Amino acid sequence: MTQRAIKDPLARNLVLLRLIPRHPRSISTVELRDALWAEGFDINLRSLQRDLTGKLSTLFQLVCSSEDSDEAVRRLRPYRWSFAAGAQTTVPSISPAAALAMNMAEEHLRHMLPPTVLDLLEPHFNESRALLQAMDHNGLSQWSRRVRVVPPVKALLPAQVSPETWDRVATGLLSGQVLQVQYLSRAKGQPIDLTLHPGGLASRGATSYLIARVERFDDFRHYALHRILGVEVLEERADDRGFDMDVYLKSAAFSPRIGDGAATLHADVHPQLAWALAETPLGPEQQLQAVEGTDWQRLRVDVRDDQEMVAWILAQADRIRVIEPETLRNRIALRVRDAAASYLPAGS
């Protein structure tokens, strides 16, 4: 650190704010002084206490042990400091544009992440909302009320994950420790005990998954967090066998393959669907050409031959007619026929 930075009170106070934890954790003035010394700032206890009580406490939601309702805590020396539990920020570092982006992200993530994860982000969301609400003069606060994230399909409510489950799974994953879990198996219809070596975490729609391998097996599978009924973090170090998330996702883990993994889709598409695909293609080499004599267009694109592709085609209803591959065409035709039959009156 340069000599100028050591003498700069603004730089020192920014570092000081970064060092103060959120309540119920706290840090003493002696610990703060020592930490500032380690950062290269020369300050004594008297000056530090004066900065905390005379300047920073008027600008930030700081809590001192001298103001605690517990007399035993008030008598503690040296004084201890923390940010209030509901403090919106520790250091004012977010820009107005970033606050607007965070405001939009909050609405999007509320459809994807479990409440326990959202609680961890709440202080950052609060900071963004507070900044936007305070900026009536530049119109950004108005934008926060006018911008919405609209999911492309019907949004499902996130599956409920207990805070304890999330905390222990996250601890095991980040610290590389084995997890002992009781898991509700859909196949068996009852809880089973599993010893898992965690490899990663994935969120898909309204559900979050722990990706792990079972003890004595090499293959990785995904386990829905909301089906974990109990979990313990063991002392044993996990062996993730060099787990690679990208490789796992390409292995059709979440969307089973139907054929050999790839297919060239030929289909006639309605003008409205053709317009949407021209703006948001199914693949990088997608082609759309006019079909002579109609306002429809011929689609040609390489896609994955998996259940997700089938679901997408079915969701387009009468706006797409599959031509090739024939196996996909027959599969779609069978699904459509069966669906139509289920709506016919009984006995017809």
Instruction: Quote the pLDDT of residue 307.
Output: 84
Element spanning 266, H or E? strand 263-269
Q: Read out DSSP for 104-149?
A: HHHHHHTTTS-HHHHHHHHHHHHHHHHHHHT-GGGTHHHHHHH---
pLDDT at 89: 55
Residue 25: predicted pLDDT: 81
Look at residue 297 in the predicted model and tell me its pLDDT. 96
pLDDT of amino acid 56: 83
Q: How far apart are CA 72 and CA 74, in angstroms?
A: 5
User: Residue ranges of the domains in the chain?
Assistant: 3-83, 96-146, 163-250, 263-341
Low-confidence ranges of the chain (pLDDT < 50): 1-5, 90
pLDDT of residue 286: 95
Supply the pLDDT for residue 87. 67
Long-range contacts of 84-90 (CB under 8 A, 24+ apart): 84/22, 84/23, 85/22, 85/23, 85/24, 86/61, 86/126, 87/22, 87/60, 87/61, 87/123, 88/61, 88/123, 88/126, 88/127, 88/130, 89/60, 89/123, 89/127, 90/17, 90/18, 90/20, 90/22
Q: pLDDT tens digits for 244-296?
A: 988 888 776 777 666 666 889 999 999 999 999 999 999 999 999 999 999 99
Long-range contacts of 202-205 (CB under 8 A, 24+ apart): 202/245, 202/249, 202/254, 203/112, 203/113, 204/254, 205/112, 205/156
pLDDT at 2: 41
Q: How many residues does the chain have?
A: 348
214: which strand partners? Answer: 196
pLDDT of residue 143: 62
Reported CATH class of domain 3-83: mainly alpha
Q: Computed from CA positions of residues 291, 297, 302, 307, in that sequence, does the dihedral angle turn out positive or negative?
A: negative
302-317 pLDDT tens trace: 998 888 889 999 999 8
**What is the pLDDT at residue 267?**
96
CATH of domain 163-250: 2.30.30.520
Class of the domain covering 263-341: alpha beta
